[in-house]
Amino acid sequence: MAHEHLYSYWSVLYPDDNGQRLKDFIKEIDACKQTINQEPNEPEWYKDAVVYSLYVDLFGQNFPGLIQKLGYLKNLGITCLWLLPVLDSPMKDAGFDIRDYRMIRKDLTGLQSGLPDEEHLSVFKNFITQANEHGIKVIFDIALNHTSNEHSWFQESRKSPDNPYRKFYIWNNDDKKYGQCRLLFKGMCPSNWEKDGEWYYFHRFFEYQPDLNYRNPDVLLAMCRNLLYWLEFGIDGFRADAIPYLWKQEGTDCENLPETHIIVKFIREVLDCVRPNTLLLAEACQPPYQVVKYFGDNDECNAAYHFPLMPQIFKSLALQSNEPLIYTLSTKVTPVKPKGCQWFIFLRCHDELSLEHVYVSEKDRKYIYENYCHKSLWDFRVGEGISARLAELLEKNPQKILLAFSIMFTLPGTPVIYYGDEFGKLNDENYYFQKITETGHNDTRFLVRGKIDWVKLNTDLSNHNSFSSQIFNIVRSMVNTRNKSKAFRRGNIEWLKTDDNILSFIRSYKEERFLILHNLSQQSKLLSISDFTTTIPKQDIINQKIYFSAPEKIIIPPLGFFWFNINFPVN
């Protein structure tokens, strides 16, 4: 039977439904597949990507402005753009509060707002075409768990308990239901319920972001239709925001429930039916043993963020020890993933340096917070996060910033660069206070946003001694070197036994072999690499000069790192 998986998933989620609406939807899927003018993506393309995440307005003002910056991104070596929220929104939560799933924010098109929607959408479609011509794929954020309270669905649902959209959300006559759900925005939202007239509606995030009710099959079908809509524009994938919370069940914490995984399987099957190898990226802020379940049997998400790796990178730098990193990537913490799936790794995301107890112990949370929250202003969620950019966290030390980048680019996984970190962008306090005034919320994550001053940046990058140049030029070399070798993108990792202060390993793929050395300490280290190569070049493959203490020993400077090509078997 065609689409048998969809029927199977449906029967689990909605056993009392007669299935007619699913049959009608499957006809829509088949019609969409016939009309869509997009070639399938390459299998597992996301494993070879270097991802760059940005807010369109803060990076390039609008999509025409972003088109002008595609050359900058291509020069940097970027192969995939992750557009932080671009769908129509009142912008109370940086666009994660979606008002219309079928419309791009009109302020991002560069056109007058009164023009027909089709003209605004054509600007977006042209941007995707231009990005693809630069060899850059495009994915964007979509919140599956909740909408804005200004969404037409929610506005209808408020009208009366009999309104057909009432069941698109979770309404109750008191705030006692789902009492075991934790507060995700501790310190900002006192409850998961918000009163509206004589009723309450449920929300896991801000009170203006009501949760959708996936117990209603019409919600699942509506969301799938929204995804299919954007496939016709040439979108290469979706970052599924807040994916662990989709299904709610009384008597549970409403996280990672079995029905949530069935929903994800359903969505993945729909995408693969229409455009195979469309990326579905899980934003599951959970420990790896939970996150790996969102890969399913290679039938849920293609990729997922490795959230605990980020804080452990910072812990390793503070401790000057490789142990936190090696332990986190061991099977004691990170289970083996399905072969076709991928971890996405990062130093900074669009949010904070997250220290949620769900994947960070209280001891580690306290240690990392004390070592990196250099200003009380940076506090997020009462100590469960630090709102600061990479350069701020690492105290504007170019060598330490580059060391962190080197670790990310050489570990297994797809690296994500947060816009501006490649040149050491700092926190923007002016933007922070401006957004508090505009939104009425003291959200310290506004600190890590802010616009790029391109005039100043171009001046700084033309000066090779500037802070920005010192970071940008070597980051660009790392990215482009990584892009040339599958060992970094798809290869195995072999940890080497050295001093605890040195993070050393071999990345290998078929005939490619690379020796990677990171000195986590503040002192120079001597290391013999004669066991790995008989010839030590004067420069490593990212053009860093090598210094010797003896013919067989190299000097790794404080916070230094080297990438060596050793493309022959090690005894």
Q: Among 486, 332, 517, which Cα is nearest to 407's?
A: 517
Fold: same for 45-148+212-486 and 490-565: no
Portion of the chain with pLDDT greater than 90, in percent: 86
Q: Looking at the chain, how many residues does it have?
A: 571
Q: Are 526 and 554 in contact (CB under 8 A)?
A: yes
pLDDT band at 6 (very low <50, low <70, confident <90, very high): very high
Annotation says 241 is catalytic? yes
> Quick one: pLDDT at residue 383?
83
The number of beta carbons lying within 10 Å of the beta carbon of residue 249 is 14
φ and ψ at residue 410, rounded to 5 degrees: -105, -15
Q: Are 422 and 475 in contact (CB under 8 A)?
A: yes
> Quick one: pLDDT at residue 382?
84
* pLDDT for 469 beyond 80: yes
* pLDDT for 570 beyond 70: no
Q: How far is CA 382 from CA 179, 189, 256, 447, 449, in A?
A: 21, 12, 24, 16, 20
Which is more confidently placed, 359 or 397? 397
Which residues on adjacent β-strands are paired with residue 388? none
180-194, 337-351, 482-496: which is most confident: 482-496
> Quick one: pLDDT at residue 443?
87
> Quick one: pLDDT at residue 571?
33
Using only C-alpha atoms, the chain has a radius of gyration, in whole angstroms, of 24
When the pLDDT of each residue in the chain is averaged and rounded to a whole number, the result is 94
> Quick one: pLDDT at residue 534?
63
Q: Any idea where the domains of the chain sit in the sequence?
A: 45-148+212-486, 490-565
Mean pLDDT to the nearest integer, 165-178 = 96
Which residues on adjacent β-strands are paired with residue 545? 539
Burial label, 428 (beta-carbon count in 10 A; 0-12, 13-18, 19+): buried
Annotation says 283 is catalytic? yes
Distance CA 115, CA 457 (A): 34
* pLDDT for 147 beyond 80: yes
> Quick one: pLDDT at residue 354?
86
Mean pLDDT to the nearest integer, 147-154 = 98
> Residue 51 is encoded by which pair of tokens?
């991802």
Distance CA 13, CA 263 (A): 8
pLDDT band at 569 (very low <50, low <70, confident <90, very high): very low
Q: Tens digit of pLDDT for each residue in 73-117?
A: 999 999 999 999 999 999 998 899 999 999 999 999 999 989 999
Which residues on adjacent β-strands are paired with residue 304? 282, 343
Mean pLDDT to the nearest integer, 229-245 = 95
* pLDDT for 210 beyond 70: yes
Helices (H) and strands (E) in the chain, counts: 19, 23
Active-site pick, 207, 241, 269, 422:
241
Active-site pick, 93, 211, 236, 283:
283
* pLDDT for 527 beyond 50: yes
Assigned CATH topology for domain 490-565: Immunoglobulin-like (2.60.40)
Measured N-to-C along each axis, helices 20-35 and 4-13 cross at an angle, to the nearest 10 degrees, of: 140
> Residue 425 is encoded by which pair of tokens?
């962008």
Mean pLDDT to the nearest integer, 446-471 = 96
Q: What is the dihedral of CA 161, 93, 235, 108, to 10 degrees?
A: 110
* pLDDT for 355 beyond 90: no
**Which of 149-153, 312-316, 360-364, 382-386 is predicted with the least confidence, judged by mean pLDDT?**
382-386
Q: What is the dihedral of CA 448, 204, 354, 84, to 10 degrees?
A: -40
Q: What is the pTM of this model?
A: 0.95
CATH homologous superfamily of 45-148+212-486:
Glycosidases (3.20.20.80)
pLDDT band at 1 (very low <50, low <70, confident <90, very high): low
